[in-house]
Chain A
Amino acid sequence: MKIAVCVKQIPDPATPYELDSENHFVVRPDDQVLDDTDRYGVEMGLQLAEATDGEVVLVSMSPANNLQGIRQALAMGADKAIVIDDEALRGSGALVTARVLAAAIEREGADLVIAGTESTDGYVGVVPQMLAELLGMPAMTFARKAELTDGTIRIERQTSGGYDVVEAPLPALVTATSGSVEPRYPTFKGIMGAKQKPIEQPSCAELGVESVGSAGSGQEIVEVRPAPERTAGVKIQDEGDAHTEIIKLLEQAKVI
């Protein structure tokens, strides 16, 4: 059983970021971290691999820089990584990302592909579905739980009111929701071990992917606007009936 887990290195969300003035993408510092939401996909992959004596291969398209974020995921226990960092990829959108990841996964061969639901830096949220389409695999999205039995993957798909139980034959693609599993912390042994694990860095040409960069993306970000400043909230004076006012507001906001 070979499980490919898609991961992404992103700028540390705790530090200020800047946007490229031309293509409006986040400018990537040398020190990037593993996208926190990817820890769930990696953990899900590791658990399924442990249950089936399988192997976890990380697949990532991003400026590699010092590969610190990838090593974080290797330190958790993944066996190897494939990182595609090609100058030609600058300015690529979601579709190019999906095509590159698909080419890398096809070359590697995988019985199961796991991804997060969306990245924390871009929030486009469509790469996994595009990837499933390109790989010809069923897209088993928003899994809060995943189980493998005899060549079948069975997930619980999170819905607003509960969950659907969905099954598909392998190969398939699963997206793991945050909270689906409890990601393990890498140990010091794991961190030291990650230094020795192979990280392949094929070029787009080696993967046979053409028409990349902004030209191949089929879309561009034309403008970025900051979110509007938050306005002051509503003040309710308690004359003994404040709770009814609050309940009314909560009902209007559809949270109760």
Chain B
Amino acid sequence: MDFSLSAEHESFRRVVRQFAEAEIAPNSEEWDRTHEFPTATVLAMGDLGLFGLIFPEEYGGAGADFLTLCIAIEEIARVDSSLAITLEAGVGLGANPILQYGTAEQKDRWLPDLVAGRRLAGFGLTEPDAGSDAGATATRAELDGDEWVINGAKSFITNSGTEITSLVSITARTGPEEISTIIIPAATEGFVVEPGYRKMGWRASDTHGLLFEDCRVPAENLLGDRGRGFHQFLEILDGGRVALAAMSVGVAQGCLDHSLAYAKERKQFGRPIGANQAIAFKIADMQVAIDAARLLTYRAAWLKDQGREFRQAAATAKLFASEAAVDATRQATQIFGGYGFMDESPVSRFYRDAKVLEIGEGTSEIQRMVIARALGL
């Protein structure tokens, strides 16, 4: 058993960290304040190859393993959750379904730009009345000649309305007991992107509600087999959960790094606050939780990379890591005291950004259901 990462994974982590600290961190506070989606920085992440890591070289990707993507997401999340979710959703939910289920023509048409990070894609699953119960999808797609006619609504769809969004894949009911996935190119008539949400966190990420009003796309925009939509998104979400766990590890690590520096530098009662066990133990606990979360995450990524069953491992990693991240942000804010409550402090942003980690890509409750089911309950 060897817990060390390869020299190449370590080098890559250093590069992404350097990029994140130089190109992202100095601007995060402003983007958060202005709710600005930083297109130029997302494109720079594309130039760094982050959106193409796990894709085959024939589409311009690096052919890297899933663990490599997890490292990238972790390092971006260590400084900025909005950009980490943009990457996670862009790869895991946007481009990955095209790679997994697309025809040769669909892959050739959409993947090169997505892999290069020149364009972004989203995945529309959640609906106003179908969240955790995604089987209750109400959006309908009906074949009319050689076109799908789509009517319905989707909620909370990441990367769906940026100026570089090329498509959103949505799940829709194509028959009484049948859910399928259909590619909706950006700017299709009848595809309405609602104004961005006002969010507690992830404010620089792009999230919209979507409306489909007699939206027509060619029949060949069906992604994968008709009627396989439910099965497809369950698979997509398994990978997404590992990626979200990696993001949670990054958020917690960011909290630890900020807290450690502050605990050494901030003096009260004549000595650094870190000299008090009350503070030191909080940070020690944070470190323990991060270690555990990271190991669970890398194990899930490793199982996926080995082509082995990883649904339960993904749920376990996502559940534990996201709760560890929320705890870490709460403790970091406490360590920062009054300064932690100020919008300008990074930990206050982390605090607001972290909560949704326990909600997106399956709530903590859904993860517990997945784990309980795997145990035969």
Interface, chain A (partner B; CB < 8 A): 33, 66, 68, 71-72, 75, 185-189, 191-192, 195
Which residue of A is nearest B61, CB measured? A189
Q: Is the CB of B15 within 8 A of A186?
A: yes
Q: Is the CB of A187 within 8 A of B7?
A: no
Q: How many angstroms between the C-alpha atoms of A230 and B268 in the bound complex? A: 23
Majority DSSP secondary structure for residues of B touching A:
helix
Q: Which residues of B contact A72 (CB under 8 A)?
A: 11
Q: Is the CB of B48 within 8 A of A187?
A: yes
Q: How far is the CB of A159 from chain B (nearest CB, A)?
A: 27
Q: Is the CB of A185 within 8 A of B15?
A: yes
Q: How many angstroms between the C-alpha atoms of A36 and B288 in the bound complex? A: 33
Q: Is the CB of A188 within 8 A of B7?
A: no
Q: Is the CB of A188 within 8 A of B12?
A: yes
Find the residue from A33, A71, A72, A186 having the highest chain B CB count within 10 A. A186
Q: Which residues of B contact A66 (CB under 8 A)?
A: 7
Q: Is the CB of B15 within 8 A of A195?
A: no
B18 within 8 Å of A by Cβ? yes
Which residues of B in the span 61-78 have a Cβ within 8 Å of any Cβ on A? 62, 64, 68
Interface, chain B (partner A; CB < 8 A): 7-8, 11-12, 14-15, 18-19, 48-49, 53, 62, 64, 68
- B62 touches which of A33, A185, A188 (Cβ 8 Å): A188
Q: Is the CB of B11 within 8 A of A68?
A: yes
Which residue of B is nearest A186, CB measured? B15
Q: How many angstroms between the C-alpha atoms of A68 and B7 in the bound complex? A: 8
Q: How many angstroms between the C-alpha atoms of A3 and B355 in the bound complex? A: 52
Q: Is the CB of B19 within 8 A of A185?
A: yes
Which residue of B is nearest A31, CB measured? B10
Q: Which residues of B contact A195 (CB under 8 A)?
A: 8
Known: A66-B7, A72-B11, A75-B11. A188 touches B19 (CB 8 A): no
Q: How many angstroms between the C-alpha atoms of A4 and B375 in the bound complex? A: 61
Ordered by A's residue number, 15 sampled pairs between the chains whose C-beta atoms are within 8 Å are A66-B7, A68-B7, A71-B11, A72-B11, A75-B15, A185-B18, A185-B48, A188-B12, A188-B49, A188-B62, A189-B49, A191-B12, A192-B8, A192-B62, A195-B8
Q: Which residues of A contact B14 (CB under 8 A)?
A: 33
Q: Which residues of B contact A191 (CB under 8 A)?
A: 8, 11-12, 15
Q: How many angstroms between the C-alpha atoms of A75 and B8 in the bound complex? A: 10
Q: How many angstroms between the C-alpha atoms of A188 and B53 in the bound complex? A: 7
Q: Which residues of B contact A192 (CB under 8 A)?
A: 8, 62, 64
